[in-house]
Structure 1
């Protein structure tokens, strides 16, 4: 008789720094098969298989809250060790070098060059369902149809991707785009650091598949 070996669930920490739909993220990740904990505890955040950083609100306020919780240091240390991190919505935006809101420029984490700026569209905020244009070979969007739709709620975005990889030894980041007025960065896969501008936890079956894909890489 063959013995079945139980598959260990991946441990994911939803980083609780006061900005983000942590309960919605927790439920979505649990449905996708992860063992989820909401915490800002340094040790647990560092040692989890995956760290999810949500974000809702203003860029500058999220950055301030993240720094007060030492989240900036945790993200930097995890990435230095190749430990997976995923940002959602403003949790993605603060990964860029800077953000401009109401004419005020604030520093981001500078994991990627670029500026988060107001959407260039007739209707702002961008609120509702939209398709994305994922690159060939995307792991994040694996198994999803090209017409899959995701839920967006935002007034700011990155319109120009600035990070270039010239070395043949380094894999170029996979950048997914969407359009609301002008094209903007909708998701990024860059080594251990992934992020989405949309909310996968609010995106139904498509979002559930995307989170399952991320958990499968941990």
Structure 2
């Protein structure tokens, strides 16, 4: 069972529909005991970093996500959810994140429209079980901030939008995708399926 963590700032419908099409069991929840009993966790997210951390803190979810992830439970952060995995963000001031991965979230500053919105090529940078039998392709992004990981080996895929940006991070049981796999066609669905199948 996959726990989709509901803290009021995630695109829960499209994600849950994608898991349903892939025939994976899931529950949308903000209940600590349900999250503890789940086999895997997905942390979606849309909106501002500081607002998201405030909601997680107020709902008592920050501690349980951190503890379950540190204990080895697979965790997938999507879009803002990926950014929340890191040390902190400079979005509208400085805010601390879950600090499961080392790095900071910075504003995108390029000579192209921001937010970065649309289909971009996903380039695999390091071999990883998540990529098993998959080929590079286009995925769908919507973001104005990007992750600067402290450990470059955590960045396993990037995309080029005037400069290289972090697209997928991975360290042991913790995965993050800056794009929306549930909206990214066959490649996105395959990546979501690989996570749900435990290929991390």
TM over 0.5: yes
**TM-score normalised by length of structure 2:** 0.93
The residue that corresponds to 2:115 in the other structure is 125
Question: Of the two, which has the highest radius of gyration?
Answer: 1
The residue that corresponds to 1:169 in the other structure is none
Tell me, what secondary structure is at the counterpart of 1:76? helix
The answer on 1:107 being equivalent to 2:96 is yes
Tell me, what secondary structure is at the counterpart of 2:66? helix
Q: Which runs of 4+ in 1 moved over 4 A?
A: none
Question: Contact 1:150 / 1:198 at 8 angstroms: preserved in 2?
Answer: yes
Match of 1:55 among 42, 45, 59: 45
Tell me, what secondary structure is at the counterpart of 2:189? helix
The residue correspondences of 1:1-80 to structure 2 (distance < 5 A) are: 11-80=1-70
Tell me, what secondary structure is at the counterpart of 1:186? strand
Q: What stretches of structure 1 of length at least 5 have no aligned partner?
A: 1-10, 165-171
The residue correspondences of 1:133-144 to structure 2 (distance < 5 A) are: 133-144=123-134
Q: What stretches of structure 2 of length at least 5 have no aligned partner?
A: none
Question: Contact 2:5 / 2:28 at 8 angstroms: preserved in 1?
Answer: yes
* CA offset digits 1:171-208 (Å, max 9, x no partner): x6452111212211111121111110000011111111
* Count of aligned pairs: 198
| Higher helix content, 1 or 2 | 2
Question: Contact 1:116 / 1:156 at 8 angstroms: preserved in 2?
Answer: yes
**TM-score normalised by length of structure 1:** 0.86
Aligned-residue RMSD, C-alpha:
1.5
1:161 to partner: Cα distance: 2.4
Question: Contact 2:127 / 2:156 at 8 angstroms: preserved in 1?
Answer: no
Tell me, what secondary structure is at the counterpart of 1:214? helix
The residue that corresponds to 1:3 in the other structure is none
The answer on 1:190 being equivalent to 2:197 is no
The answer on 1:162 being equivalent to 2:150 is yes
